[in-house]
Amino acid sequence: MKNSRLVAGNWKMFTTPEEARTLTSEIVRHQTAFGPVEVALFPPFTSLAAVREIVGKTKIRLGGQNMHFESEGAFTGEVSGQMLKASGCSMVILGHSERRQHFGETDQIINRKLKKALGVGLAPIFCLGETLSERKSGKTFEVLERQLTHGLEGLSFDEIKLVIAYEPVWAIGTGVNATPQQAAEAHRFLREKLAALIGVPITQNLCILYGGSVKAEIAKGLFAEKEIDGALVGSASLKAAEFVEIVKKARI
C-alpha cells in the first residue's frame, strides 16, 4: 500500500466547458480538506482548457480520458499524448472497459498506448477488469493476468510508472460495486503478478485503484482495505459534494 492515496474523477462524455468550470470550482473550494490525498480530474478533451484554468495553481492533477499511440498524423478525431501534455495533462486513462467494449481497443492497442504515454511523460491509469460472465465462470484471475501481461508487454521496470485501476466491468455504471474483499483480492493478485512479471518487488510503490460504482457511502469500507490505494470514480465524480466526500474518506 502507498502512503498516500489517489482519487481520480472520470467525467466520461459529460460536461460542457461551462459546466466543467462550475464543477471544478466547487471541488477546488474544498481542497484544504483533501489532506495528503492526491486528486486528479479527467474531463472530456473539450473541457481540458477550462479545468486547467482553475486547477493550474493547485495540486490537483489534470488528465485525458484517452489518447492515440502515434504522435501526430492523419487520424481524424484522435488526440496524441503530446497534445495532452501541451494542454496541461500529466495523466491519461488507458484501457478503460468502455474503450475496449465500444471502440474495439485490444490489449495490443492498449499496450502501444501505454508505451507512448510513458514515453512522453504522462502517467497512465491502466484500467483492467473482468466481465460478469468471466467472473461467473471463474475466469477473473485469468482475464486480469492476460490484460496485465499483454498490456505491459515490452515495458521495463524503470518504465513502469503507472497507476493500475481494477474496474470489474459488471460494477461500472451499474450501482453494483465489488465488495471491499473482492476488490482487495483482485488487487493482491495484480500486485503479485506484476512483481513476478517484472522480477522486482515494486509492489510497495504501485498504486492500485478500485473503480466501479464508487460512492461516498461505500468509500469508507473500500478504503479500510490496505490493498486499495484509491479510487477511479465515474458518475459520483460529477457531483462535487459527493466527490469531495470520497476524497475525504481516502485520508489515511
How many other CB atoms are found less than 10 A from the CB of residue 155?
A: 17
Minimum CB separation of residue 158 from ligand PGA in Å reads: 28
What's the grid cell of residue 161? 510508472
- Which residue is catalytic, options 68, 96, 105, 227? 96
What's the grid cell of residue 84? 495532452
38 given a catalytic annotation: no
**Residue number with CB closer to ligand PGA (54 or 93):** 93
Rg of the chain, C-alpha, whole Å: 17
Q: Report the C-alpha gap between 156 and 229 in whole angstroms.
A: 23
Q: Report the C-alpha gap between 73 and 80 in whole angstroms.
A: 9
CA nearest neighbour of 139 among 169, 164, 162, 112: 169
Q: Which residues bind ligand PGA (CB under 6 A)?
A: 10, 167, 172-173, 211-214, 232-236
Minimum CB separation of residue 43 from ligand PGA in Å reads: 14
78: left (phi over 0), alpha (psi -120 to 50) or beta: beta
**Residue number with CB closer to ligand PGA (51 or 93):** 93
Minimum CB separation of residue 186 from ligand PGA in Å reads: 15
**Residue number with CB closer to ligand PGA (118 or 171):** 171
**Residue number with CB closer to ligand PGA (84 or 209):** 209
96 given a catalytic annotation: yes
**Residue number with CB closer to ligand PGA (180 or 196):** 180
Q: Would strands 163-166 and 6-10 be described as parallel, antiparallel, or unpaired?
A: unpaired
Minimum CB separation of residue 102 from ligand PGA in Å reads: 12
Residue 20 sits at φ, ψ, to 5 deg, of: -65, -40
How many other CB atoms are found less than 10 A from the CB of residue 72?
A: 11
Minimum CB separation of residue 101 from ligand PGA in Å reads: 11
How many other CB atoms are found less than 10 A from the CB of residue 122?
A: 23
- Which residue is catalytic, options 38, 105, 167, 225? 167
What's the grid cell of residue 82? 503530446
Residues annotated as part of the active site: 96, 167
